Amino acid sequence: MDNLNCSTWSSSLDLISRLLVEKFEVDLSRLQIDTPIADLLVDSLMIVEMAIAVQDTFGVKVTEDELRKLDLGEFAVCIDERRSGR
C-alpha cells in the first residue's frame, strides 16, 4: 500500500490530503491511496462539503456519486484529468 509521500501525482493529491486533514479532520495516518473516500468522509454532509471544496480549490466539479465510489488515488487522478481538461 503506497503512502501519500510516495505519490507520483502529488499536486492534486497533496491538496486533497491537506483538505482532508485540515478541513475534514481526518487523521493523517488514514490517508492511503486505496482508501475509499466514503470511508474518510463519514456522513452525507461531508460528501457534499467535499464536492464544494473541490470546486473551490480546483475549479472542477465532482459528483457526490463519484465521491462515494472512488478511492483516494482514483479521486486524485480524476481531479488531475479534469484540471488538465482531459
Q: Residue 24 Cβ, how far from other proteins at the closest point, in Å?
A: 7
Q: Residue 84 Cβ, how far from other proteins at the closest point, in Å?
A: 23
What span, in angstroms and rounded, lies between the C-alpha atoms of 73 and 22?
Answer: 19
With contact defined as beta carbons under 8 Å apart, do 73 and 65 qualify?
no
Q: What Cα–Cα distance (Å) separates residue 9 from each residue in 18, 33, 41?
A: 15, 11, 22
Residues that bind other proteins (CB under 8 A): 22-25, 44-45, 48-49, 52, 55-56
Q: Residue 36 Cβ, how far from other proteins at the closest point, in Å?
A: 19
- Closer CB to other proteins, 25 or 85, in the complex: 25
With contact defined as beta carbons under 8 Å apart, do 77 and 10 qualify?
no
- Closer CB to other proteins, 48 or 69, in the complex: 48
- Closer CB to other proteins, 10 or 63, in the complex: 63
What span, in angstroms and rounded, lies between the C-alpha atoms of 41 and 1?
Answer: 20
